[in-house]
Structure 1
Amino acid sequence: EEAGEHVLEVEVSLPELAELLGEELRLPAIRPRGREAVLSDVRRYRSIRRTGPESLRHFRRTFRTALRRQIAEGTYEPDRPVVVPRREDRRYRSWRIAEVPQSNAAVIYMMDVSGSMGTEQKEIVRIEAFWIDTWLRSQYRNIEVRYIVHDAAAREVDRHSFFHLRESGGTKISSAYELCSRIVEERYSPMEWNVYPFHFSDGDNWSGGDTRTCMELLREKLLPRVNVFCYGQVKSAYGSGQFKVDLDDELGDDGRVLTSEIPDREGILPSIRTFLGTGR
């Protein structure tokens, strides 16, 4: 009879997740822009020490230290995987002074919800958006998130609707870019806000003429006001993938335009590295 799988459940905070993501993808700290881009000193629990109050005990690090010790001592039995921390194994969180930008960030997600974007494509976008949010919230004090869906027309929705709506119409990407540029112009001055539009689709668009309209909107209205513009193309059974080709041809030399292909869930982390790896 085979031994069952033993799982240790450990709560991990969002700042810890952001730190793990940054380490895994080697993401640089973001340098905010705008007149609000000043640094303030804050205390963050990012250091580890051997002593401290029980309320600050780091259970995951304590468990890891105990496991390492038992393996070194030869007392760890894989057939009976019991890890018993001793007092000397205990590790505690300790604060240190960290510089945190006091600037503002606006994150605007856009997604094609036409018939070709199915449940799996939306789940990929949801997972990627979670990690993007987690990282950006670790870099900025104040973040506002907006959601735009589009098929042949665009509209702003709440977060739940963003990930669950599905329409049957065609796709007109320029409608999303027009709405996004209007929101940015009315609400998010580049002097005070760091703006991050993220657009996800399967690459289908209404026509070549609408794609040209998209390029004009990017050049004239969006790119002058944003830190970066990120386009993630999620593979679907029905999407042509043409929009990324056109975007790379037209604006691939502009460092503010970042594009990625996301063939499946394994493509999420490389896509995030592309989008957040510039430090802008």
Structure 2
Amino acid sequence: MDHPIKRDHSRFRKIIKGKIRDNLKKYVSRGEMPIPKGNGEFKVPMPSINTPQFRFGDKSQGGAGQGEGQPGDPVEGGQPGEGQQGEGEAGQDEGAKELEVDMSLDELASILGDELELPKIEPKGKKNMQSTVDRYTSIGTVGPDSLKHYKRSYKEALKRQIAMGTYDAKNPIIVPIKSDMRYRSADTKVEFENSAVVIYMMDVSGSMGDEQKEIVRTESFWINLWLKSQYKDIEIRYIIHDATAKEVDEETFFRTRESGGTLISSALKLCRDIIQSDYNPDEWNIYPFHFSDGDNWSTEDTKL
């Protein structure tokens, strides 16, 4: 039988996930990303959750359904500005509190997938095959001579002779018998050979400002979060471009700004070259994403 505390904790986690699901649109649209904590966990900011309890009302206000008002008017209590941010003099009431809740990558990805109704990804090619890996980390009582563990075998023989009283410390001769023999034993682990590559392309021309780049940073975070929950390994490549394109690292990708014009085809051609050179489409799951403000130098430029 589960302990009541465990049941309460499980119910609380469900409430937390519900709150995060309700605020997911805010996280994605306003750039309020969860904070990486390490060990595959994130800190997610969320409003404080108060324990349900009876509270005294304010005598200066009527209860719900009393006093003036029209159908559809809000009936929430509290004085205007009470406990809220805004202009004016300093107040004495408490402000709104926020919590930071620890969530694993899988939990966040599950919430994202459920809310956006994302499909489960099916890897392609032999990347969808299972492979078995044998690691000789255990000891068994049967096996071939090539896997015989001599140290453990003699140790078992010594234990047997001491238990039987036949061990002579002055003449320490240890003779293992068949029941003393120990062998290295393989632990078989099944691994899925599924990998993916994400290729981010971003316009860094003069028309792309800080606001647009922050949107790119937010969107790439959620894309990576989802794909990492679906694949064992993912590779990430970064391409920036104005009139010309080049491959860069992650830091350069988000910090670079140019003053030239925009030729989207330069990034698409470089992306195509990277795929043809390093990633066979029959074996790799490839996800290219292009970010731009939409201002292209020519409508004919997108023809490769």
> TM-score interval w.r.t. the shorter chain?
0.5 to 0.7
Q: Does residue 33 of the first structure (1) align with residue 99 of the second (2)?
A: no
Bigger relative contact order, structure 1 or 2 (CA pairs below 8 A, ≥6 apart): 1
Classify the secondary structure of the residue corresponding to 1:21. helix
Please list the CA deviations of residues 98-118 of structure 1 after superposition, one character each: whole Å capped at 9, or x if unmatched: x99531100000010000010
Q: What does 1:183-198 align with in structure 2 at a 5 Å threshold?
A: 183-198=274-289
Q: Does residue 149 of the first structure (1) align with residue 240 of the second (2)?
A: yes
Q: Distance in 1 between matches of 2:98 and 2:214?
A: 25
Q: Does residue 107 of the first structure (1) align with residue 212 of the second (2)?
A: no
Please list the CA deviations of residues 79-123 of structure 1 after superposition, one character each: whole Å capped at 9, or x if unmatched: xxxxxxxxxxxxxxxxxxxx9953110000001000001000000
Candidates 257, 262, 268, aligned match of 1:171: 262
Please list the CA deviations of residues 225-261 of structure 1 after superposition, one character each: whole Å capped at 9, or x if unmatched: xxxxxxxxxxxxxxxxxxxxxxxxxxxxxxxxxxxxx
Q: Does residue 14 of the first structure (1) align with residue 105 of the second (2)?
A: yes
| Percent of pairs with identical residues | 60
Counterpart residue type for residue 108 of structure 1: I
Maintained 8 Å contact 1:111/1:148: yes
Q: Does residue 126 of the first structure (1) align with residue 217 of the second (2)?
A: yes
Please list the CA deviations of residues 181-233 of structure 1 after superposition, one character each: whole Å capped at 9, or x if unmatched: 110001001222100100011112221331223xxxxxxxxxxxxxxxxxxxx
Q: Distance in 2 between matches of 1:40 and 1:23?
A: 30
Query: Which stretch shifts more, 140-149 or 2-11?
Result: 2-11
Q: Distance in 1 between matches of 2:201 and 2:256?
A: 13
Q: Residues 101 and 125 from structure 1, CA distance in 2 versus in 1: closer, same or farther, beyond 3 angstroms?
A: farther
Q: Distance in 1 between matches of 2:192 and 2:98?
A: 37
Please list the CA deviations of residues 23-67 of structure 1 after superposition, one character each: whole Å capped at 9, or x if unmatched: 2212111111122113689xxxxxxxxxxxxxxxxxxxxxxxxxx
Maintained 8 Å contact 2:129/2:192: yes
Match of 1:180 in 2: 271
1:7 CA drift (Å): 2.7
Maintained 8 Å contact 2:126/2:193: no
Q: Residues 125 and 182 from structure 1, CA distance in 2 versus in 1: closer, same or farther, beyond 3 angstroms?
A: same
Q: Distance in 1 between matches of 2:219 and 2:130?
A: 28
Q: Distance in 1 between matches of 2:260 and 2:192?
A: 42
Q: Distance in 2 between matches of 1:181 and 1:211?
A: 13
Q: Residues 18 and 148 from structure 1, CA distance in 2 versus in 1: closer, same or farther, beyond 3 angstroms?
A: same
Match of 2:163 in 1: none
Count the aligned residue pairs.
Answer: 156
Counterpart residue type for residue 173 of structure 1: I
Q: Residues 101 and 28 from structure 1, CA distance in 2 versus in 1: closer, same or farther, beyond 3 angstroms?
A: farther
Counterpart residue type for residue 123 of structure 2: P
Q: Residues 198 and 102 from structure 1, CA distance in 2 versus in 1: closer, same or farther, beyond 3 angstroms?
A: same
Whichever of the two has the greater Rg, that structure is 2
Classify the secondary structure of the residue corresponding to 1:205. coil
Q: What does 1:31-110 align with in structure 2 at a 5 Å threshold?
A: 31-38=122-129, 102-110=193-201
Maintained 8 Å contact 1:18/1:135: yes
Question: Going by fraction, where is helix more abundant, 1 or 2?
Answer: 1
Q: Distance in 2 between matches of 1:115 and 1:211?
A: 20
Please list the CA deviations of residues 121-143 of structure 1 after superposition, one character each: whole Å capped at 9, or x if unmatched: 00001100000000000000010
Q: Distance in 1 between matches of 2:296 and 2:287?
A: 22
Maintained 8 Å contact 1:100/1:139: no
Structure 2 residue ranges without an equivalent (≥5): 1-91, 133-189
Counterpart residue type for residue 201 of structure 1: S
Q: TM-score, normalised by structure 1?
A: 0.52
Classify the secondary structure of the residue corresponding to 2:223. helix
Please list the CA deviations of residues 249-277 of structure 1 after superposition, one character each: whole Å capped at 9, or x if unmatched: xxxxxxxxxxxxxxxxxxxxxxxxxxxxx
Classify the secondary structure of the residue corresponding to 2:265. helix
